[in-house]
Amino acid sequence: MLMMLYLGLPCFLFLIGIFTFVSNRKHLLSMLLSLEYIVLNLFFLLFIYLNLMNHSSFFSMVFLTFSVCEGALGLSILVSMIRTHGNDYFQSFNILQC
């Protein structure tokens, strides 16, 4: 029962994050926040899994490093988009434009 709670809660939170990511498509900042929420839930699930299987937690630190790099890359894209287009709406951003 306790193991079901350990693994069920992060999976439920992950699904809530996916739903939030799909429903908030208007602003880039809200999409980045929901992506960071999903990554945090994946880290939580990975940490619980590694602790339950009595493995080393080294891989969780590598995962956190990559997630920080992903967040910094997303923020840099957000800043460059705001500088070029003036806002973070997806409707004003044309991908086919050079």
Residue 95 has pLDDT above 90, yes or no: no
Helix (H, G, I), strand (E, B) or coil at 27: strand
Calpha distance 77→84 (Å, rounded) = 11
86 dihedral zone (left: phi>0; alpha: psi -120 to 50; beta): left
Tokens 């956190």 belong to which residue? Answer: 64
Calpha distance 85→49 (Å, rounded) = 43
Domains and CATH numbers, the chain: 2-85 (1.10.287.3510)
Q: Is the pTM of this model over 0.75?
A: yes
Calpha distance 77→79 (Å, rounded) = 5
What does the pLDDT look like over 30-66, one tens digit per residue?
888 999 999 999 998 888 888 888 888 888 889 999 9
